[in-house]
Chains A and B, each alone.
Chain A
Amino acid sequence: MAKRTLSQQNLLSVGAIHLVLGLLSIVFLIPLVWMISTSFKTVEQASVFPPVWIPDPFMGGNYKEAWEYGKDQLGGVAPMLIYARNSLIVCILAVTGTVISNSIVAYSFARLKWPGRDLAFAITLATMMVPFPVLMVPLFGLFKDFGWVGTFRPLWIPAWFAGAFNIFLLRQFYRSIPMELSEAAKIDGCSEWGIYSKVILPLTKPALAVVALFSFMGTWNDFLAPLLYLQQQETWTLAIGLQAFRSQAGGAPIHLQMAASTMVVAPVIILFFFTQKQFIQGIATSGLKG
């Protein structure tokens, strides 16, 4: 806790800090405010110079127009609806797999003793250094052999096999739970699976929520993997659809681009506001325990 002595000098410096923080807040918020402002403008007003901040007239209908933009190519169904549905399907499958698999694997690394465990964990950490581009070509070949190209499978099945970052994050958490709990359960005749599922798992819900959040963000934001595997427009996720929205057939006009972008950003920001505490704590833990 910081010292709070209310000398005049302190009052002055507190005022200065507020001034700096306030100005910086404006700088950080301008781009988002500008995105939202443009999304409500007419096409003419969107590109006048010098720019107008408050849209006049206020075009709420831009969102409907952006939602349905290019629906003729999809037989009258709003493309954004298809993309959103696809993104949700991939996210649900990937998040479920990530939470289940990493929870089980991290339990093994944190609370079970087996020969070679520490070496395996060191190798696991080292895999964080492997860049995706080096795996990209062979993985594409592999998934092509599996017949998965063009389906959602390459985007969520690997999530069911855990990953270094989440194992690392959860292992830290599992290790902070006293071993005595496990030992007591064992004396009561619990199997390892029983100890994991009945004793430890209920205690790790907050950490699992963090893993689920990060996994959702990662999948929702992912562009490269869907770009590699999804060719048909009906299978596109929001990331791919939004990019096409901007680049294909001359591209949608700027006010609609901003409306569509806002619709992709909004779910993430809403999710953040509902889970702020876990979110912030999760990030702090992931960066500190290194």
Chain B
Amino acid sequence: MNKPGHLTNQTKAGLLFAAPWLIGFAVFLLFPLLKAFYNSFTEYTILTPPVWIGFENFADIFRDELFWKSLGNTFYYAFIAVPVSTVIAISLAMLLNTKVKGQAFYRTFFFLPALVPAVPLAILWLWLFNGEAGIINAIIEPIFGIRPNWLGDVNLAKNILIVMSAWGVGHAMVIYLAGLQQVPIALYEAADLDGASPLRKTFQITIPMLSPVIMFNVVMAIIGSFQVFTQPYIMFPGGAPERSTYFYSVYIYDAAFRDNRMGYASAMGWIMFLIILVLTLTAIKFMDKKVHYESN
């Protein structure tokens, strides 16, 4: 932009049209990201200016049991909820793709839960898993003769969030269904001529042809589930029972806005960013070798 006279009309127009984002990127993304990086080496509250303390925050974080606990819970959630939801989403999509009558109705039924906003979702599932009068126990008790205390049991509580994520697979299901409809029928016809079993067709045609879609959506889902906040924040205040549902985002929020340790929270934020970066790049690298891309 230093020599406006030399810019072509297209360049001028291009930059002008892109300006909202270039400004937004600088102000609402790059600046806070760099500021958080700087702040992670400082100690400050919302009212006092940052004081440089070097790597002390990071040293403290790695000694902080609660950090490891929340990180562990978050990994547990991301690495169980995402694969479980993905398998369910693909299975539902494949069932719908059999083109049975009423496909649109079934698709709507499976999709509806994905529309429920996070806050009513959390309130509803607290009620469903209520140990005294919840519908889950009303179904389980006659069959298994037990009435688990879902919300209060250290080993059970986390898994409620995984069930909730599995319930909301509608979004992913719609994507996989669209992906399945792009798989050329000719491939299945050829396999039929060779007498391939349905199972073999699934693993040798469907899944490989779907793999770029799976990769993209799994990566996005992992990034998303790493930031899970609203449901645990509402359902399990303080990560009860015994911090078993204390998640990384909730800890960052608490460190910053409850304990007023802004530097510490910034350092935790940057660690989260680095973890997501590493996970995403690893996933892309790993999938690049395995994923089948259509030549286009």
Contacts and interface: CB of A to CB of B under 8 A. Distances in A.
Q: DSSP majority for the A interface?
A: helix
Contacts of A117: 14, 18
Interface in B13-42: 13-18, 20-25, 27-29, 31-33, 35-36, 39
Nearest to A113: B10
Q: Is the interface of B mostly helix, strand, loop or mixed?
A: helix
B11 to A, nearest CB: 4
Interface string B238-254: 00000000001100110
B21 A268 contact: no
A134 B171 contact: no
B99 interface: yes
B106 to A, nearest CB: 5
A135 interface: yes
A138 B36 contact: yes
Nearest to B169: A28
A135 B21 contact: no
A228 interface: yes
A249 interface: no
Contact of A158 (B28, B105, B174, B276): B28
A171 to B, nearest CB: 11
A105 B17 contact: yes
Contacts of A268: 115-117
Interface string A101-118: 100110111001111010
Contacts of A141: 35, 46, 262
Nearest to B133: A47
Nearest to B176: A287
A129 interface: yes
B127 A142 contact: no
B46 to A, nearest CB: 7
Interface string B213-240: 1011100100100110110011001000
Contacts, number: 290
B14 A288 contact: no
Contacts of A120: 18, 22
A21 interface: yes
Contacts of B177: 284
A25 interface: yes
A49 B141 CA distance: 11
Interface string A267-290: 011001000100010011111101
Interface string A12-33: 0010011011001100111110
Nearest to B173: A283
A112 B13 contact: yes
B18 A109 contact: yes
Contacts of A235: none
Contacts of B135: 30-31, 34, 51
A261 B223 CA distance: 28
Interface residues of A, number: 96
B196 to A, nearest CB: 14
A137 B262 contact: yes
Contacts of B213: 287-288, 290
A261 B27 contact: no
Contact of A34 (B128, B174, B217): B128
Nearest to A48: B133
Contacts of B16: 108
Contact of B256 (A14, A137, A284): A137
A290 B212 contact: yes
A58 interface: no
A175 to B, nearest CB: 14
B32 A138 contact: yes
27 contacts: A20-B95, A35-B127, A46-B133, A51-B133, A51-B135, A105-B21, A108-B13, A108-B15, A114-B15, A131-B249, A131-B273, A134-B32, A136-B253, A138-B33, A140-B257, A158-B28, A162-B24, A193-B13, A196-B17, A221-B118, A246-B234, A247-B234, A268-B115, A287-B176, A287-B216, A288-B179, A290-B215
Interface of B: 9-11, 13-18, 20-25, 27-29, 31-33, 35-36, 39, 46, 92, 95-100, 102, 105-113, 115-120, 123-125, 127-128, 132-133, 135, 137-138, 141, 167, 171-172, 174-179, 182, 185, 189, 212-213, 215-217, 220, 223, 226-227, 229-230, 233-234, 237, 248-249, 252-253, 256-257, 262, 265-266, 268-270, 272-273, 276-277, 280
Given A25-B105, A161-B21, A162-B24, 7 more contacts: A14-B100, A47-B133, A101-B21, A120-B22, A134-B272, A135-B36, A137-B265
